[in-house]
């Protein structure tokens, strides 16, 4: 039996953390926790997440209909419900507007991969949805192509949504993502972002799998992909308006990086022959003039 009062307290605690970190200005953001087959706790609309009270939290069903609560439920609850329907393992969803991750949402800039070990293990690749006006069914459905392959999604020109087995875990993914986006921006200001190589990136994916965490890049579907090249969600870029502008693509990483390709070997031979021919001509002229 779920302790509903305790779960409402947990929602209030996460709401305060979201507000205190600057992830939700004024009445931004919303939080849900599933408590039964057809019942979901939901934060109310037009209420600051930093000052939530237990009796502010309302209850809705899986269609979005409000079942109880003195305040009206969030208008964006449908987004949460679509995720829960697609992922029965998800018990909580957190939506907010963390500024650094939301900057990537506004710029439609894909999140670079293979930079920080913690991000590779805990997040993996992060998609960006296409834009739809918040609150409606079309907006809620923008996450559906990505929900099963990640636990955090960037909503174009809007913010982030993350989800997990409880409200704290759902919130974690957003905090990790925003911290990473801030580090990327600071690194860019310094002038350089160094990428992990193929071997080290694969080691992290193997470690992730050993810990029981799934990553699409470690499945047969993507076994021939470049781990660091945003391969999992790149096919969606044309529909979502995503493109690289601020961060260059990582260098292509061969699975045998030390082995020269046929083209590079031929190029080396051509260059050696050219150097030899020039050297021979110079030596002939020096001998003729001596």
Instruction: Determine the Cα–Cα distance for residues 123 and 131; give it in Å rounded to an integer.
Output: 22
Instruction: Determine the Cα–Cα distance for residues 16 and 102; give it in Å rounded to an integer.
Output: 19
76 is catalytic: yes
Write the burial class of residue 274 (CB in 10 Å: 0-12 exposed, 13-18 middle, 19+ buried): exposed
| Closest residue by Cα to residue 36 from 10, 69, 61 | 61
Q: Given the residues 76, 82, 109, 175, select the one marked as catalytic.
A: 76
The DSSP call for residue 258 is: T
The DSSP call for residue 38 is: S
DSSP letters, 120-162, are HHHT----BPPP--TTSHHHHHTTTTTGGG-SEEEETTTEEEE
Instruction: Determine the Cα–Cα distance for residues 68 and 66; give it in Å rounded to an integer.
Output: 6
Residues assigned a catalytic role: 76
């Amino acid at each position: 039996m779920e302790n509903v009062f305790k779960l409402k307290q947990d929602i209030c605690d996460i709401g305060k953390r979201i507000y205190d970190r600057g992830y939700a200005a004024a009445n931004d953001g919303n939080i849900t926790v599933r408590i039964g087959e057809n019942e979901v706790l939901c934060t109310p609309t037009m209420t600051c997440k930093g000052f939530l009270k237990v009796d502010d939290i309302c209850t809705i069903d899986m269609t979005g209909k409000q079942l109880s609560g003195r305040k009206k439920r969030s208008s964006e609850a449908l987004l949460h419900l679509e995720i829960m329907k697609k992922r029965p393992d998800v018990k909580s969803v957190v939506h907010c507007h963390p500024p650094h991750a939301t900057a990537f949402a506004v710029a439609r800039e894909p999140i670079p991969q293979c930079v920080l070990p913690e991000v590779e293990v805990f997040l993996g690749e992060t998609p960006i949805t296409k834009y739809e006006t918040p609150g409606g069914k079309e907006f809620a459905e923008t996450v559906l192509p990505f929900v099963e392959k990640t636990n955090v999604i960037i909503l174009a020109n809007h913010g982030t949504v993350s989800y997990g087995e409880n409200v704290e875990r759902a919130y974690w993914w957003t905090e990790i993502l925003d911290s990473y986006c801030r580090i990327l921006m600071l690194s860019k200001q310094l002038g350089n972002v160094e990428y992990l190589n193929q071997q080290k990136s694969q080691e992290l994916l193997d470690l992730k799998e050993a810990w029981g965490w799934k990553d699409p890049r470690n499945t047969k579907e993507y076994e021939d992909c470049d781990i660091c090249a945003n391969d999992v969600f790149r096919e969606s870029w044309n529909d979502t308006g995503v493109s690289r502008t601020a961060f260059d693509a990582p260098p292509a990483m061969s699975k045998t990086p030390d082995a020269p390709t046929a083209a590079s070997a031929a190029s080396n031979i051509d260059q050696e022959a050219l150097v030899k021919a020039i050297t021979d001509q110079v030596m002939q002229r020096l001998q003729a003039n001596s």
